[in-house]
Chain A
Amino acid sequence: MDRILEVRNLVTRFYTLDGVVHAVNGVSFDLRRGETLAIVGESGSGKSVTVLSLVGLIPKPPGKVEQGAAYFRTEQGRIDLLQLSEEELREVRGGQIGFVFQDPLSSLNPILTIGEQIKETLTRHLNITGEEAKARTIDLLAEVGIPDPELRYKAYPFQLSGGMRQRVVIAIAIACRPQIVIADEPTTALDVTVQAQIIDLFNHLQQTLNMAMIWITHDLGVVAGLADRVMVMYGGRIAEVAPVDDLYERPAHPYTVGLLGALPRLDSKESKRLVSIEGTPPDLLIPPRHCPFARRCRFAFERCWREMPELTPLGPEHRVACFYDMERGGPRNE
């Protein structure tokens, strides 16, 4: 499988009046053609900042992408997204990389009809006439499951329900047949029934369009039926990355274990006590010199307070940043 996106050692900081927020601290990962990569972690763990850094959507100031590279493979060759000009990035965004955010209302223009907004994306990125764009828009609305697309073409965002609005945002995201779609908590604000509809739609679109997808969420429950691989983030670092089955069957990082334990199990008759991760997320104003999870980790030992664990391979695709070996029940051998 070929890699469509390679992110290397991404570091993003925010220079605020309270101090320097170390939001993303050396994140490296790959995205393969056609796969779904889920990024999971509690709020503030740096999920959004990671993906926004890639496409120049970090507010500057206070934000700054300090270092790293993000190689994006297109038909024209390999480009480093972090070296592109604002102009070039605008081409990429909405063209080769589509976005879906948590709050559909804030990503739609309230005074334009949804048809006009989709059409605008099409005419900006593709070389087509207004007529063609309108026809394509109506096809797109149908594609994302909006009933009566001709009629809805003239609707304004406020006239639609939350779920319908999110479908419109998805239509805009896939309008130019992007190679990557980034979805940042796209269902967090929606009801479970609508969430199921949207996940179903994404699964369907991904099969028909063969696009790669990055799906950000704080809920490991949603990820099981959706992702090929999962990347767990904590304190602006990758804690663990693994194929989806591996992650649920053999979680290797105490934080992943905690996230899984926090989910109620529908498949058991007896209701067991949930495993909760006590304490609060790390303060990103203080750059830790040790494992960021140490303060909340029940396996923490002396080394964890001294060194920063690096991502180390466990299996062919499974990597974890932890000094403790869960399987053996003791410190990991080097």
Chain B
Amino acid sequence: MNERSELLRVEDLKVHFPIYGGVLGRKVGAVKAVDGVSFTIRTGETLGLVGESGCGKSTTGRAIIQLQRATAGRVFFDGTDITTLRGKALRRLRPKMQMIFQDPYATLNPRHSVGKIVGEPLKLQGLMRGKELEERVAELLKMVGLNPAFARRYPHEFSGGQRQRIGIARALSVNPKFIVCDEPISALDVSIQAQVVNLLQDLQEQFNLTYLFIAHDLSMVKHISHRIAVMYLGKIMELTDRNTLFEDPLHPYTQALNSAVPTPNPALERKRKRFILTGDPPSPANPPSGCVFHTRCPLVIDECRTQIPELREIFPGHFAACHLADSKGSSKIAL
């Protein structure tokens, strides 16, 4: 893995949404959806991004592929800063980075046929038309396990899993290098989730794709990712490879998330001691001072309320943003 080249570098990314209020519509505050996020993804790698809903995962993904302007920070793709691109330069970059969306019901225009949906990116990029386009669409549909005759049908005629396959075929049409998968399986039944995850893995192998895989379900993220970043209130709490994240998590929040994942093993489940977080995450419009997790952290110390913990490299390749995190295990929650 290490010898692979870096494809994407995110540096101190911030996305703040202004809140307007009052009769005059003045700015009265901001939702700090993403508040200083940094990481890198290597070619052919899958980076998992997990966290509770509202923590800023989608906004991060959208800011990376330039669907959302960043308030601050930079995103390097293949070595160039793409946050400064505009107009034609940006449109030319688009096909290299694609997105698969969470809601397969909303992402396909209900008035377009499947063929038009899958072929649209190729047509917009002026890469293909006519017969050639039709053949490519058929090939793409086959690639994602759909009948090529489906090209004439409309999205409402398909089940959730099939629609997600259509979305994947569309994203793949322009031979992207990098795909943001924004909770592509959350809306699907568990049995269908496996189909889609297998498909994504097969395609990754076949085309050497790089994924940012966003989810709130840790077990699927562990299954598909090489490394995982844990997000909370717009910040990264911990970042490491997938096995370490589950076997030796440093950050108290990661430990809590792990503890919340059910295991499909009744005997284990009965013996299991869990630490269950109480309450809900605070609002990103008014995040807590110091460590953003301090209102729910069982290990909180005075320092946490005032000092913001930096994301530090505790072990090689293992980053955590906690004052207590060290190599001696001071940040472990005792069960």
A residues engaging B (CB < 8 A)?
Answer: 42-43, 147, 161, 163-164, 191-197, 199-200, 218-222, 224-225, 244-245, 248, 258-267, 269, 271, 273-278, 280-281
Contact call B194/A195, Cβ cutoff below 8 A: no
Of chain B, the residue at the smallest CB distance from A197 is B276
* B243 in contact with A262 (CB, 8 Å): no
Q: From residue B298, how far is it (CB to closest CB) to chain A in Å?
A: 14
Task: Answer whether A274 and B223 are a contact pair too, CB < 8 Å, given A259-B191, A262-B194.
Answer: yes
Q: Which of A193, A197, A220, A276 has the most CB of B within 10 A?
A: A193
The answer to whether B192 and A42 touch across the interface, beta carbons within 8 angstroms, is yes
Picked from B223, B267, B274, the residue with its CB within 8 Å of the CB of A264 is B223
Interface residues of B in 94-142 (CB under 8 A from A): none
Q: Are the CB atoms of B198 and A196 closer together than 8 Å?
A: no
B269 nearest CB neighbor, chain A only: A225
Q: Contacting A260 at CB < 8 Å: which of B193, B264, B268? A: B264
- Per the bound structure, the CA–CA distance linking A191 and B265 in Å amounts to 21
State in angstroms the CA–CA spacing of A225 and B189 once bound together: 20
In the docked arrangement, what's the CA distance between A218 and B186, Å? Answer: 12
Q: Can you name 30 A-B residue pairings with CB atoms under 8 Å? A: A147-B279, A163-B280, A192-B52, A192-B216, A192-B218, A192-B257, A192-B260, A193-B256, A193-B260, A195-B262, A196-B274, A199-B262, A220-B190, A221-B219, A221-B263, A224-B262, A224-B268, A225-B262, A225-B269, A225-B272, A245-B266, A248-B266, A263-B194, A264-B222, A265-B264, A266-B219, A267-B265, A271-B224, A274-B197, A277-B191
- Say yes or no: A258-B191 contact (C-beta < 8 A), given A161-B280, A193-B256: yes
Does B84 interact with chain A (Cβ within 8 Å)? no
Chain B residues with CB under 8 A of A220: 190, 264
B contact residues around A197 at 8 Å (CB): 276-278
Contact of A267 among B52, B145, B197, B263 (CB under 8 A): B263
Tell me, rounded to whole Å, the shortest Cβ–Cβ distance linking A158 to chain B.
15
B72 within 8 A of A: no
Which chain A residue lies CB-closest to B216?
A191
Q: Contacts A218-B190, A220-B190, A274-B198 known; list 5 others, CB within 8 Å.
A: A196-B274, A224-B264, A225-B266, A262-B194, A276-B195
Please encode chain B, from 242 to 271, with 1 for each CB lying within 8 Å of some chain A CB and 0 for all others.
110010000000001101111111111110
Question: Bound state CA distance, A197 and B296, in angstroms?
Answer: 14
Contacts of B266 on A, CB cut-off 8 Å?
Answer: 224-225, 244-245, 248
Chain A, residue nearest B161 (CB): A280
Closest to A147 in B: B279
Are A192 and B261 CB-contacts (below 8 A) given A225-B270, A245-B266, A248-B266? yes
Name the residue in A42, A266, A275 with the highest tally of chain B Cβ atoms < 10 Å from its Cβ. Answer: A266
A271 and B263 CA atoms in complex are apart in Å by 15
Given known A220-B190, A245-B266, A271-B223, contact A266–B261 (CB-CB < 8 A): yes
Residues of A within 8 A of B256 (CB): 193
Does residue B208 face the partner (Cβ distance < 8 Å to A)?
no
B289 interface contact, C-beta 8 A: no
A221 touches which of B52, B161, B242, B262 (Cβ 8 Å): B262
Residues of A with C-beta under 8 A to B257: 192-193
With an 8 A cutoff between CB atoms, is B53 at the interface?
yes
The CA of A267 and the CA of B266, in the complex, are separated in Å by 13
Alpha-carbon separation in the docked complex, A265 to B261 (Å): 11
Q: How far in angstroms is the closest Cβ of chain A from B108?
A: 17
CA distance A269 to B159 in the complex (A): 33
Cβ of B162 under 8 Å from chain A: yes
**A222 vs B263: C-alpha distance in the bound complex, in angstroms?**
7
Q: Of A164, A193, A224, A248, which is within 8 A of B277 by CB?
A: A193
Residues of A with C-beta under 8 A to B264: 220-221, 224, 248, 260, 263, 265
Write out, one digit per residue, whether chain B residues 171-203 have a CB within 8 A of any chain A CB (1) or not (0).
000000000000000000111111101100100
**Which residues in B have their C-beta under 8 angstroms from that of A218?**
189-191
- Kindly list chain A residues whose C-beta atoms are within 8 Å of the C-beta of B31: none
Q: Are A266 and B280 interface neighbours, CB within 8 A?
A: no
Say if the beta carbon of B333 comes within 8 Å of chain A: no
Q: How far is the CB of B107 from chain A (nearest CB, A)?
A: 19
Q: How far apart are B135's CB and chain A's nearest CB, in angstroms?
A: 25
**B116 CB to nearest A CB, Å:** 23
A263 to B265, CA, bound (A): 11
Task: List residues of chain B with CB within 8 A of the CB of A224.
Answer: 262-266, 268-269
Query: Which residues of chain A come closer than 8 Å to B195, judged between CB atoms?
Result: 276-278
Question: What residues on A are CB-neighbors of B219 within 8 Å?
Answer: 221, 263-264, 266
Q: Are the CB atoms of B201 and A273 closer together than 8 Å? A: yes
